[in-house]
Amino acid sequence: ILDEGRLTDTTGKLIDFTNTIILLTSNLGCPKNYNKYLQEKNYLSNLDLEDIKNNIKLNINNFFKPELLNRLTNILIFNPLTLENLLLIFNKFIKELKIKLYMNKINIIIYINNNIKYILTKLSYNPLYG
């Protein structure tokens, strides 16, 4: 795929990959890096995040061979999810659940107080795992 931009499947069919975006994902070094910064506080500052990104890049360069890294156009490092992000995800999930219940004619009304949403999200929040 990375050499000639094509792949042959198990049946011998040739598949063109020349106009394809391929995403490789990894958690290489993330929890270990975040733990150092979260021992005294429960958030990551912009300086912390920049330092973490530099450490992750170093781990990537030490783990993967240059032959692979030189074929990549870009490496994206995502920030960990914040409590605010998780609240948005929580609200989206509840909204989707309400729609499913309504569409399936299940007569259940769900209402979750904002304080309860915050408490549930806070209890499940672990910055080490994004």
Which of the four pLDDT bands, split at 50, 70 and 90, describes residue 128?
low
Report percent pLDDT > 70 for the chain. 85
Q: What is the pLDDT of residue 34?
A: 66
Tokens of 62: 């030490």
Q: Is residue 130 part of a domain?
A: yes
Q: What is the pLDDT of residue 26?
A: 83
Instruction: Tell me the one-letter amino acid at 6.
Output: R
Best CA proximity match to 124, nearest among 89, 76, 97: 89
Q: What domain range includes position 99?
A: 81-130
Question: Is 6:17 a contact under the CB 8 Å cutoff?
Answer: yes
Distance CA 121, CA 124 (A): 5
Residue 6 domain-assigned (yes or no): no
pLDDT in tens, 75-123: 888 877 778 889 999 999 999 999 999 999 999 999 999 999 999 998 8
Q: Is residue 129, in this structure, part of any structural domain at all?
A: yes
Residues 6+ apart with CB under 8 A from 1: 7, 17, 22
**Which of 40 and 25 is assigned the larger pLDDT?**
25
Phi, psi at residue 39, to the nearest 5°?
A: -65, -35
What's residue 80's pLDDT?
A: 75
Residue 54 lies in a domain: no
Q: How many domains does the chain have?
A: 1
- 128 against 48, higher pLDDT: 48
Q: Is residue 28 part of a domain?
A: no
50 Rama class: left (phi>0) / alpha (psi -120 to 50) / beta: alpha
**Judging by beta carbons within 10 Å of its beta carbon (0-12, 13-18, 19+), is residue 56 exposed, middle or buried?**
buried
Of 43 and 98, the structure prediction assigns the larger pLDDT to: 98
